[in-house]
Amino acid sequence: MSVKDVEDLLYRQSGLKGISGVSNDMRELEPSASPAAALAIDYFVYRIVLNAGMLAAALNGLDAFIFTAGIGENSANIRARVAEKLAWLGVDFDAAANKAGGPLISKPHSKAAAYVIGTDEELMIARHTVSFLSRTTSAASLEKT
């Protein structure tokens, strides 16, 4: 395979698309009637829960579990499936709050809270860029003196 073919395989044909044969976009997978799309979603949820369990073990438990970014912010179905599987870690899931979009989607007495927190990647990139540039500019000014 050429470098371009390998890049296409890894970046466009693998992951959810590779499993489902449908798409790598959860917005297309969730309404799909394809059994392969359902398998891809099952696998996606499985991997989230698997990794959450490993991290919880390393951290000796959880205080909170945060759903964010595209799927975490927008898919009540994925949040519900993940949160229900995190019950053993103390997440007492609130289906009505989840359907409403949160921000708190666990019950108040839950040992580990679950939240939906919006993210703004472009704003964070801009903030980090400004911070970096201000440090670089300050360092350059110091070198001149």
pLDDT at 104: 96
**DSSP per-residue string spanning 77-120:** HHHHHHHHHTGGGT--B-HHHHHHT-SB-B-TT-SSEEEE----
Q: DSSP character for 30?
A: T
pLDDT at 139: 58
**DSSP per-residue string spanning 60-74:** TS-SEEEE-HHHHHH
| Local confidence pLDDT in tens for the 145 residues of the chain | 899 989 888 888 888 999 999 998 999 999 999 999 999 999 999 999 999 999 999 999 989 999 999 899 999 999 999 999 999 999 999 999 999 998 999 999 999 999 999 988 889 899 999 999 988 776 566 566 5
**Against a cut of 0.85, is the pTM above it?**
no
Other beta carbons less than 10 A from residue 71's beta carbon: 18
Other beta carbons less than 10 A from residue 119's beta carbon: 13
Rounded Cα–Cα distance for residues 119 and 83 (Å): 19
pLDDT at 8: 86
Rounded Cα–Cα distance for residues 14 and 24 (Å): 8
Residue 33, judged by CB atoms within 10 A of its CB (0-12, 13-18, 19+), counts as exposed
Rounded Cα–Cα distance for residues 94 and 102 (Å): 9
pLDDT at 136: 76
